[in-house]
Amino acid sequence: MVAVWGTNFVIIKVALQALPPLLLGVLRFALALLPAVFFIARPAVPWHKLAAYGVLIGAGQFGLLYLAMNGHIAPGLASLVIQTQVFFTIGLAMVADGERVRPYQWLALGMAAAGVALIAANTGGDTTLRGLAMVLVAALCWACGNQVARTMGRVQMLGVVVWSSLFALPPLLALSLVFEGPARMAQGLAAADASVWVAVVWQALGNTLFGYAAWGWLLSRHPAATVAPMALLVPVFGMAASALILSEGLPPWKLGAAALVLAGLALNLFWPQRK
């Protein structure tokens, strides 16, 4: 499961070789919606929550992630920085529930922030401050989507992903038409070869439908404390795959940033389970 999600950042880069980033988002969520919407029942969730989730995850998280990865941030670093959604999710939940931030959470946040600051201090080449900022905002959108999902109660997330794709498509299509234009969209579709289309299908079927179905299946059969820590391996697979397949460099500063971010995530996850 984490191998699918981690290596997906390399697959995104393959798709972006021909397709404009926002058009890639349109194709991804179109294939996630059709034909699955005819076979998967709409979850018992109000339409406005499905719409909010679709816009936040579709146009917010993935729209910005694709834009950032289109020459503004390396795939391996993108797989790492997007995990800061954990801290955004915690912050939003605490605001909503009125909880206080515990000391270990401040320490975990500080470690992750130090990792992100180390990345910012070493921008240049395949990673820019603009790309880093876009991935951080994408992580915030993911966290907002998580907050919407929390208000849905216990529902089948695969159904939520499929039906919310209906609302991810309009803003992505409108933004693609305005900023990329029909000519560039047509040019991208014409330039797409078999590898690009395999990458697009993998985005929808592998990363989205299989990903959420498998994650939900695991969480329904095993304790969350057993399953959730495995998500820490997503950037490990992402950075390793990017280094092996795309020859992304792994200088000491990048490994140090990864160590700080992952250590912060691990501290936040494992400290409550220490007993």
Share of the chain above pLDDT 90, in %: 62
Residue 1: pLDDT band with limits 50, 70, 90: confident
pLDDT higher than 90, residue 54? yes
How far is the C-alpha of 262 from the C-alpha of 41, rounded, in Å?
Answer: 37
* Amino acid 275: pLDDT: 62
| Residue range 174-195: mean pLDDT, rounded | 94
| Residue range 71-92: mean pLDDT, rounded | 89
Token pair, residue 131, equals 């790309």
pLDDT higher than 80, residue 200? yes
| Residue range 179-183: mean pLDDT, rounded | 94
Give the global pTM.
Answer: 0.90
* Amino acid 41: pLDDT: 92
Residue 224: pLDDT band with limits 50, 70, 90: low
Report, in this order, helix, strand and coil percent for the chain, each rounded to 5.
80, 0, 20
Q: What is the pLDDT of residues 2-49, one digit of tens each?
A: 899 899 999 999 999 999 999 999 999 999 999 999 999 999 999 999
* Amino acid 103: pLDDT: 87
pLDDT higher than 80, residue 97? no
* Amino acid 225: pLDDT: 65
Query: Domain map of the chain by residue range?
Result: 2-273
Calculate the CA dihedral of residues 176, 26, 200, 60 and round it to 10 degrees. Answer: 90
**Mean pLDDT score of the chain, rounded to an integer?**
90
**Residue 105 CB contacts under 8 Å (≥ 6 apart), including other chains:** 90, 268
